[in-house]
Amino acid sequence: MDSAFKRDKDNKKTVVSKFELFKKPINTHNVLFYYVPFYGAASYSALSVNVLNPGLGVRMFPKRDVTNILLLSTLIGTGLYIYDRKHMRAAPKIPKVGYSVFGALMFSFGSVLMWAVMRSILPESSIIATTCGISSALGLVKAGTNYMEFVDSQVKN
């Protein structure tokens, strides 16, 4: 069945909204290891725009710098995503936390550094900065999840 469709009770194809594709039951595991990482990915995208186009963040939140909030959300989401991966299941708890923190820090701070360099070389255009921020964030999240899925595929059950 095509992922954009589902069958209703009369076995007719109906369109599935994008949000329905991401529904998982609410339980502790799904909140920690699905919804929080999903929120972290959204924060990561917002962080990319905030670094590349800081004026937009100031216009949206004039009384508060949201950079640290976005960074913390990104770190938590990425760390929990890495922590729950199949290739990490055999790791003892303390090293597993350390590996997850390390991966989250390297991914997030490496991205911030990349965006800072991009900001210095891009023309001063809010549209270009925002577009480059969002597209680079989406591309890096996709590359990261593909990498994690590849590493997980190498693990024998």
pLDDT in tens, the chain (157 residues): 344 555 656 666 555 555 555 678 889 999 999 999 999 999 999 999 999 998 887 778 777 889 999 999 999 999 999 999 999 999 999 999 999 999 999 999 999 999 999 999 999 999 999 999 999 999 999 999 999 999 999 998 7
Domain residues for the domain of 123 are 27-153
In a domain, 67, yes or no: yes
Which pLDDT score is estimated for 1? 39
- Both tokens of 141, joined, read 């999240």
| pLDDT for position 133 | 96
| Number of domains within the chain | 1
The answer to whether position 19 is within a domain reads no
Q: Is residue 31 part of a domain?
A: yes
Phi, psi of 6 (to 5 degrees): -140, 165
Q: Is residue 6 part of a domain?
A: no
pLDDT of residue 64: 81
Q: Could you tell me if residue 59 is inside a domain?
A: yes
Close Cβ partners of 37 (under 8 Å, ≥ 6 residues apart):
77, 78, 80, 81
The reported pLDDT for the residue numbered 24 is 82
Give a yes or no: residue 1 inside a domain. Answer: no
Task: Give the amino acid at 14.
Answer: T
- Residue 104 lies inside a defined structural domain of this protein: yes
**pLDDT at 12 (0 to 100):** 62
Domain assignment present for residue 57? The answer is: yes
Please state, in angstroms and rounded to a whole number, the distance separating the CA atoms of residues 28 and 155. 25
Tell me what pLDDT residue 15 has.
57
